[in-house]
């Protein structure tokens, strides 16, 4: 059994459950962890009394439902507050151009970056800027978390995607006009 305090995956699963994900499949989908990893984490969280797994009767038979406990919510909230303080420190170092402090801190904190992105503590744009500032390559987990959070990790500059199209009072935003029966301009 892993300690929840040492595992970003445990916190990602706990955070997904706190957001209303009640099945292993949904949790695996939003966290980008395998179902086997999610099942292992769920077993750990149940043993640590962070979550409760119950059987619910449904029209199609029995269904598992996963719910976070008060203890789980307190632990999750405490970890988010701790990581939010670290994020504020990263922002300060970034603003002051203190590359060395950021690199030193990354040695011990880097495993938490995917959770910080997943939970919304750190936004993808700042994350990508910070990694570029340090000249650091992304791990696969960081790349997946950043792309899910909305950053372009392909190396392109985003070009037209970042353009927004302006607000000229009704013009096309650069995409195709798919008005038809839908009755709207869906610019892509």
Domain that holds residue 59: 4-68
Report pLDDT digits (tens) over 78-97.
Answer: 999 999 999 999 899 988 98
61: in domain: yes
Q: Provide the domain count of the chain.
A: 2
Q: What is the DSSP string of 14-55?
A: HHHHHTT--SHHHHHHHHT--HHHHHHHHHHHHHTTSEEEEE
User: Which pair of tokens denotes residue 22?
Assistant: 């009640």
Q: Are residues 42 and 86 in the same domain?
A: no
Q: Give tens-digit pLDDT for 41-78.
A: 999 999 999 999 988 777 777 778 899 999 999 999 99
User: Does one domain contain both 93 and 112?
Assistant: yes
Assigned domain for 110 exists: yes
Residue 99 Cα distances to 103, 155, 163, angstroms: 6, 21, 30
In a domain, 162, yes or no: no
Residue 171 counted as domain residue = no
pTM: 0.70
Same-domain check for residues 121 and 147: yes
Mean pLDDT of 137-144: 76
């Amino acid at each position: 059994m892993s300690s929840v305090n040492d595992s970003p995956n445990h916190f990602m699963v706990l955070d997904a459950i706190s957001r209303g994900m009640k099945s292993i499949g949904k949790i695996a989908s939003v966290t980008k962890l395998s179902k086997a990893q999610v099942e292992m984490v769920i077993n750990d969280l149940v043993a640590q009394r962070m979550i409760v797994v119950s059987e619910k009767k449904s029209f199609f038979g029995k269904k598992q439902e996963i719910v976070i406990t008060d203890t789980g919510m307190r632990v999750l909230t405490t970890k988010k507050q701790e990581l939010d303080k670290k994020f504020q420190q990263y922002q300060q170092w970034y603003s002051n151009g203190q590359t060395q402090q950021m690199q030193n801190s990354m040695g011990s904190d880097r495993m938490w970056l995917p959770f910080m992105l997943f939970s919304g503590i750190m936004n993808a744009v700042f994350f990508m800027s910070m990694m570029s500032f340090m000249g650091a390559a992304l791990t696969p987990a960081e790349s997946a978390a950043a792309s899910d959070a909305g950053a372009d990790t392909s190396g392109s500059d985003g070009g037209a995607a970042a353009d927004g199209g302006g607000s000229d009072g009704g013009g096309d935003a650069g995409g195709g006009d798919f008005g038809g029966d839908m009755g709207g301009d869906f610019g892509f």
